[in-house]
């Protein structure tokens, strides 16, 4: 057991001190800080930026004043252009104006518009112009048929549409929206944690094999001890990195929201999330990690070169991606039969069952069955994986999945004898 903790702490400390871990953590933290400060960054670069000038040719002399008053954005400046369309187009091409808006009137004196610019990539300006002109057209049409402002408001008033759930303890629409947001965020955390750190274990094992360090380590500790020491060591590393990333992200967002009423969770609508949802997120994240980490450890033991690791763990990566994609689909249809069935498939359970727990009021036995399936699968993988790992770490040659597993099991039997 002493050798187990020596390998565990060696794995953790060597990874924490490595340049790769430090650089990747710092880069991730920098990206996190940048993403949470996007409004401040945009404001910094746009503070000295002049408004986009739009040349407007109002051929009917009916709409310019109303359009100028309806534009609420400070980033758009309308200029009543009277030098003709050809000159206006030339000014747009020279960069004097961002675009050219030509206004004409139809037979009912309602606006018709044509917008010209160098490219069609910027859609915010034409969208705002179109929305403003739509309001003007609505007001003019209403006045022509003698509708009052109150009648117009009544005409466009949204219909009152209320949803009522008949099932007992069914979640309200607000609760579902809150749960959907939190589940969406936590699914990404589970997905990246599993796919990143499980792959790291396979790479760690292959690296030691390629340098022949494995033969020395195996002589001082059993392969089973070595495998689970690696899994727990990288698990501790993942907790360290995720704690830093989530902690910095939470602090940065909280600072940017300091001017708003309420705290972090209230602003994002997470203040009413049930504690059980958070608890299930932690449970399924941990079990998902151990499931894929055990799988990655013995897959990594089957290759002799670092270059072959990606090829060997590709099926595992595809399983993780498939589970994530299905859970994303399930966010909009969590009660679908396909979603229910796949939530009991062990390699999909960590993400899909958690999604269902977050979105639906499931009976307790359903997530418990999912947890039981995960634990059982982890035990089976651990027993089988330990046997494969025991023989696989001493194998060298070209990677071949089924052939290498067969040879690894044979090595394991010979070692036992």
| Residue-wise pLDDT tens digits, 270-322 | 556 667 877 888 888 888 888 888 888 777 767 666 777 777 788 888 888 88
Q: pLDDT tier at 267 (50, 70, 90 boundaries)?
A: very low
Lowest mean pLDDT among 44-53, 162-171, 261-270, 318-327: 261-270
Q: Assess if CATH 3.20.20.80 describes domain 52-155.
A: no
Structural domain spans, the chain: 52-155, 173-416
Give me the pLDDT at residue 369, please. Answer: 94
pTM given for the model? 0.66
Highest-pLDDT range among 225-239, 292-306, 342-356, 372-386: 342-356
Q: Is the pLDDT of residue 192 over 60?
A: yes
Give the residue-averaged pLDDT of 351-365.
86
3-state SS track over 343-358? CCCCCCHHHHHHHHHH
Give 243-260 pLDDT, tens digit per residue.
888 788 777 777 666 544
The pLDDT tens digits for 25-34 are: 888 888 878 7
- Asked if pLDDT for residue 361 goes beyond 50, the answer is yes
- Chain centroid offset of residue 130 CA: 33
């Amino acid at each position: 057991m002493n050798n187990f903790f020596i390998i565990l702490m060696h794995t953790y400390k060597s990874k924490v001190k490595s340049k790769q871990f430090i650089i990747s953590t710092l880069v991730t933290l920098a990206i996190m800080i940048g993403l949470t400060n996007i409004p401040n960054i945009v404001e910094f670069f746009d503070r000295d930026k002049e408004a986009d000038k739009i040349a407007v040719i109002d051929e009917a002399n009916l709409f310019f004043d109303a359009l100028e008053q309806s534009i609420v954005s400070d980033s758009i400046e309308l200029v009543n252009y009277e030098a003709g369309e050809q000159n206006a187009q030339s000014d747009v091409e020279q960069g004097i104006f961002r675009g050219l808006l030509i206004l004409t009137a139809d037979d009912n004196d309602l606006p018709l518009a044509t917008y010209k610019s160098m490219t069609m990539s910027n859609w915010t300006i034409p969208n705002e112009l179109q929305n403003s002109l739509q309001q003007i057209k609505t007001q003019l049409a209403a006045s022509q048929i003698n509708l009052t402002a109150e009648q117009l408001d009544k005409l466009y008033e949204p219909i009152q549409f209320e949803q009522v759930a008949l099932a007992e303890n069914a979640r309200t629409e607000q609760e579902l929206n809150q749960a959907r947001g939190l589940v969406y965020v936590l699914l990404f955390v589970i997905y990246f944690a599993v796919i990143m750190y499980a792959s790291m274990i396979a790479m760690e094992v292959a690296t030691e094999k390629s340098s022949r360090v494995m033969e020395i380590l195996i002589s001082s500790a059993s392969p089973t001890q070595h495998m689970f020491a690696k899994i727990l060591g990288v698990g501790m590393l993942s907790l360290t990195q995720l704690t830093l990333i989530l902690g910095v992200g939470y602090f940065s967002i909280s600072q940017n929201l300091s001017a708003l009423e309420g705290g972090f969770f209230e602003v994002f609508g997470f203040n009413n999330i049930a504690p059980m949802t958070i608890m299930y997120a932690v449970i399924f994240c941990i079990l998902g990690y151990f499931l894929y980490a055990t799988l990655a450890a013995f897959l990594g033991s089957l290759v002799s070169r670092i270059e072959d690791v990606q090829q060997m763990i590709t099926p595992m990566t595809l399983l993780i991606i498939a589970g994530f994609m299905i859970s994303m689909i399930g966010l909009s249809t969590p009660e679908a039969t396909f979603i229910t069935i796949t939530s009991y498939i062990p390699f999909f359970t960590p993400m899909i069952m958690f999604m269902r727990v977050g979105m639906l009021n499931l009976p307790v036995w359903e997530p418990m069955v999912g947890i039981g399936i995960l634990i059982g699968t982890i035990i089976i993988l651990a027993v089988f994986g330990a046997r494969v790992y025991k023989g696989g770490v001493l194998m060298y040659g070209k990677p071949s999945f089924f052939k290498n597993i067969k040879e690894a099991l044979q090595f394991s039997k010979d070692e036992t004898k």
